[in-house]
């Protein structure tokens, strides 16, 4: 397998090379040759051509992980997508050697179609690389992550995707590099800050200095004092000759040229350059911009090929985060204690055999199984029911305004789902369902965390 030089600026077909190095004038020429490469050197002065080639290589599942070198500095955007500019043959070989070594550690059944895994594998092979944002005023979001954009599935936005990976703890923020403020209307980050009249919001305002006559205490705009090249108080006719002795400047007032009102301080609004909305600067939504690195969990996922998160498939059913879920239960408990008619129920589902299923069916089919289970579960619960995942395998459903009767109906329906997940290999999704209803099962002053732990540890269906 040769190392491939893509010499894009050559007018004629480049020739030369050797046993393990071949030269091509374009990416198409390389592809039509149908060979497998160990790495690439993109040699061009043209940033756009280089970017097109590098993007094509990084989006292709066959080549996305391979080392790509540049022959010269072509700007930060390309630098983020490539493996640098090697100082010589030796440096290049060293780098490739290290990459190859890491690539061998990746899980063999790597699912290269999966965008999550592509990113994790890429970062795993390059332990010194962080996912760094690039500041670019021409971009709507100002900060972009070129590598994430290239590795993401088509049409997928890099920002939310990275946030999701952080939430799932595959990535972790490394360094805070910036902060942007988003327009609440369109999420744009480009704002023009203008000072406006607080009365009519016109931008036609002008500073108007005021004078204070010491003799009579008259305070008025400076223009009313000017008379024949001198300052004369319009009120007491005193000649104002010397600042500090005869008069002073108590304040700088503003006057609106449109509505005529005068005011001490103008309002400042942030005018969004994207949608034109005028927002109070306090209402803009701040976002911290970080560089990201692979977390321990992310490294292990890249090595084992298991994203572990098959459970997470359950997370899109009216899902709320656990602390919030717990505080909701606390709140409902408080309601029950105060109002007699208030009633609600909890259902807990504990998945028991995901590991066995993964062993027997493989990761992909297990995921399909869970997904099917989630779809059915979603059909069973109401729009007003909430779910959370308290731990890896414990799923909770909160049923407001539901007594023991309604709860048991849902419980039996869920237990029924077990049968439907049975597979040809005679395995099925195994789980326990526990139930709880307040105020009947309620203990005085028990926090929801304890309640949930108590019933999950107790009876099982």
Partner 1 sequence: MTEILRQAAEMLLQLLLSPFNQGFWEFILKFIPYVVFFELPIYLLIFAGIVRYVLRRYWRVPIRRPYRPMVSCLITCYAEGREVACTIRSLSEQLYEGAIEIIAVVDGAARNTATLEAALDLTDMVNARHDRRLTVLPKWQRGGRVSALNAGLNIAKGSVVMALDGDTSFDNTMVACAVRHFVDPNVIGVAGCLRVRNAGRSIVTRLQAIEYMLSIHASKVGLSEFNIVNNISGAFGVFRASFLRAIGGWDSGTAEDLDITLRMKNYFGRHPNLRIRFEPEAVGHTDAPETLRDFLKQRLRWDGDLFYLYVRKHSMSFTPNLLGWRNLIMQLWTGMFFQLVMPFVILAYTLYVMVFYPPAWVLAVWALVYLFYLAVTLVFFIMYIVFLSERPGPDLKLAVWLPLVPIFTFITRIWCGVSTLNEGLLRSHLDSTMAPWWVLRKTKY
State in angstroms the smallest separation of the CB of 253 from partner 1.
15
Task: Tell me which residue of 37, 78, 38, 74 sits closest to 55, measured CA to CA.
Answer: 78
**Residue number, 212 or 303, with CB nearest to partner 1:** 212
Distance CA 240, CA 223 (A): 13
Distance CA 254, CA 234 (A): 20
**Residue number, 169 or 241, with CB nearest to partner 1:** 241
**Residue number, 18 or 244, with CB nearest to partner 1:** 244
CA 269 to chain centre: 27
State in angstroms the smallest separation of the CB of 78 from partner 1.
43
Burial class (CB in 10 A: 0-12, 13-18, 19+), 306: middle
**Residue number, 206 or 405, with CB nearest to partner 1:** 206
Q: Which two tokens stand for residue 167?
A: 């939430």
For residues 178 to 217, the per-residue mask of contacts with partner 1, x marking binding by CB under 8 A and - elsewhere, is: ----------------------------------------
Residue 434: strand pairing partners: 348
Check: CB of residue 37 under 8 Å from CB of residue 3. yes
417 part of the interface to partner 1, by CB under 8 A: no
**Residue number, 158 or 240, with CB nearest to partner 1:** 240
Check: CB of residue 215 under 8 Å from CB of residue 225. no
Size of the residue set binding partner 1 (CB under 8 A): 10
Q: What separation in angstroms does the CA of 378 have from each of 58, 371, 429?
A: 37, 10, 16
Q: Which of residues 245-274 bind partner 1 (CB under 8 A)?
A: 245
**Residue number, 186 or 219, with CB nearest to partner 1:** 219
Q: Which two tokens stand for residue 365?
A: 């089919």
State in angstroms the smallest separation of the CB of 231 from partner 1.
6
State in angstroms the smallest separation of the CB of 261 from partner 1.
23
Q: Which two tokens stand for residue 28?
A: 């198409």
State in angstroms the smallest separation of the CB of 242 from partner 1.
5
**Residue number, 226 or 460, with CB nearest to partner 1:** 226
Distance CA 57, CA 81 (A): 10
SS3 208: strand
For residues 211 to 250, the per-residue mask of contacts with partner 1, x marking binding by CB under 8 A and - elsewhere, is: ---------------x--xxx--------xxxxxx-----
State in angstroms the smallest separation of the CB of 267 from partner 1.
21
Tally the C-alpha atoms within 13 A of residue 377's C-alpha that lie toward its C-beta: 28
**Residue number, 1 or 206, with CB nearest to partner 1:** 206
Distance CA 57, CA 52 (A): 9
Check: CB of residue 86 under 8 Å from CB of residue 93. no
State in angstroms the smallest separation of the CB of 214 from partner 1.
14
State in angstroms the smallest separation of the CB of 271 from partner 1.
24
Q: Which two tokens stand for residue 245?
A: 């002795």
Residues forming contacts to partner 1 in the complex (CB under 8 A) are 226, 229-231, 240-245
């Amino acid at each position: 397998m040769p190392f491939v030089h893509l010499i894009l600026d050559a007018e004629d077909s480049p020739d030369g090379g050797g046993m393990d190095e071949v030269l091509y004038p374009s990416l198409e020429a390389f592809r039509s040759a149908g060979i497998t490469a160990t790495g690439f050197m993109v040699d061009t002065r043209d940033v756009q051509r280089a970017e097109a080639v590098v993007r094509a290589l990084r989006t292709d599942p066959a080549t996305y992980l391979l080392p790509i070198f540049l022959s010269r500095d072509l700007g930060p955007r390309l630098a983020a997508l490539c493996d640098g500019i090697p100082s010589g043959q030796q440096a290049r070989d060293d780098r490739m050697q290290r990459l190859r070594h890491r690539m061998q550690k990746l899980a063999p059944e790597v699912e290269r179609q999966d965008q999550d895994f592509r990113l994790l594998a890429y970062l795993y092979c390059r332990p010194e690389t962080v996912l760094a944002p690039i500041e670019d005023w021409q971009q709507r979001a100002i900060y972009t992550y070129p590598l994430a954009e290239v590795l993401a599935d088509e049409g997928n936005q890099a920002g939310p995707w990275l946030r999701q990976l952080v939430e799932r703890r595959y990535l972790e923020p490394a360094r805070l590099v910036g902060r942007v403020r988003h327009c609440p209307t369109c999420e744009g980050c480009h704002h023009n800050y203008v000072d406006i009249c607080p009365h009519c919001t016109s931008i036609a305002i002008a500073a108007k200095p005021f004078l204070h006559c010491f003799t009579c205490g008259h305070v008025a705009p400076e223009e009313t004092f000017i008379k024949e090249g001198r300052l004369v108080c319009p009120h007491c006719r005193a000649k104002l000759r010397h600042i500090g002795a005869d008069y002073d400047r108590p304040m700088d007032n503003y006057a609106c040229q449109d509505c005529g009102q005068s005011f001490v301080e103008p309002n400042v609004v942030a005018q969004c350059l994207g949608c034109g909305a005028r927002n109070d600067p306090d209402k803009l939504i701040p976002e911290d911009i970080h560089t990201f690195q692979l977390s321990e969990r992310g490294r292990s996922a890249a090595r084992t090929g298991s994203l572990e998160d098959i459970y997470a498939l359950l997370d899109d059913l009216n899902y709320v985060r656990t602390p919030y879920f717990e505080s909701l239960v606390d709140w409902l408990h408080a309601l029950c204690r105060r109002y007699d008619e208030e009633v609600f129920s909890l259902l807990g589902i504990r998945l028991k055999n995901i590991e066995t299923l993964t062993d027997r069916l493989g990761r992909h089919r297990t995921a399909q199984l869970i997904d099917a289970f989630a779809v059915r579960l979603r059909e069973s619960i109401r729009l007003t029911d909430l779910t959370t995942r308290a731990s890896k395998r414990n799923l909770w459903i909160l049923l407001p305004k539901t007594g023991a009767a309604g709860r048991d109906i849902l419980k039996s329906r869920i237990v029924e789902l077990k049968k439907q997940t049975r597979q040809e290999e005679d395995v099925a999704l195994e789980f326990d369902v526990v139930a709880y209803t307040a105020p009947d099962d309620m203990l005085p002053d028990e926090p929801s965390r304890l309640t949930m732990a108590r019933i999950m540890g107790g009876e099982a269906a």
